[in-house]
Amino acid sequence: MSKKKNSIDEVNEARKLLRESGLRSTPARISVINALKRSTKPQTHAELADQLVPLGFDKATVFRNLTDLTEAELVLRTELGDHVWRFELRDPSHDRSSHPHFVCTDCGTVSCIDEMALPSPSLRRSLNISRISEVLVKGHCGTCDSARAAST
Ligand SMILES: [Zn+2]
Ligand SMILES: [Zn+2]
């Protein structure tokens, strides 16, 4: 499969992201960004290492660069209660505080829930809520649940 190879366009886009965040472009950072960009769901450090170690990066390098990218707010890091960090590229056009999200605690897939209302301003006042940063609904996605049913 050729999916692991960085195309020129992908490299240039990653460089631009890094430059805008004031980070130096390194092959490791570019490869981490592109691996996350190609992922359909948030990736654990182990999953990223599986993709990047064959390209010549060691696990410590992958982790250090994930941390740098997270601190620069290019990457979003979430933990679902299983003490495993999952990483995804931050999408600046996606306002996470404007609607609730469903997250599968097995695979980390996140879906936007557009039809669940957040507390109204008056309810927020009565509950002494000043700001809501995120609303997460946790559970198991259909894919993980059917995989579990098939394995038992
Ligand atoms: Zn799942
Ligand atoms: Zn959303």
Read off the pLDDT of each residue in 124-143 and give the average, rounded to a whole number.
92
> Which ligand is nearest to the Cα of residue 139, counting in written order?
1
Read off the pLDDT of each residue in 100-126 and give the average, rounded to a whole number.
89
> Which ligand is nearest to the Cα of residue 113, counting in written order?
2
Distance 150 CA to ligand 1 centre (A): 14
pLDDT band at 4 (very low <50, low <70, confident <90, very high): low
Residue 152 token pair: 């038992």
Per-residue model confidence (pLDDT) at position 45: 95
For the chain, the average pLDDT equals: 90
Per-residue model confidence (pLDDT) at position 94: 85
Is residue 15 predicted with pLDDT exceeding 90? Answer: yes
Written as one string, the DSSP assignment of 36-85 is: HHH-SS-EEHHHHHHHHGGGT--HHHHHHHHHHHHHTTSEEEEE-SSS-E
> Which ligand is nearest to the Cα of residue 80, counting in written order?
1
Per-residue model confidence (pLDDT) at position 5: 63
Read off the pLDDT of each residue in 140-144 and give the average, rounded to a whole number.
94
User: Positive or negative CA dihedral for 54, 48, 4, 18?
Assistant: negative
Distance 76 CA to ligand 2 centre (A): 13
- Measured CA to CA in angstroms, residue 102 lies from 97, 127, 135 at distances of 13, 23, 9
Per-residue model confidence (pLDDT) at position 2: 44
Per-residue pLDDT reduced to its tens digit, 46-96: 999 999 999 999 999 999 999 999 999 999 998 877 788 999 998 888 888
Read off the pLDDT of each residue in 114-131 and give the average, rounded to a whole number.
90
The candidate with the shortest Cα–Cα distance to 100, out of 122, 86, 116, 121, is: 116
Domain ranges in the chain are 8-89, 101-151
Give the fold, CATH level 3, of 8-89.
Arc Repressor Mutant, subunit A (1.10.10)
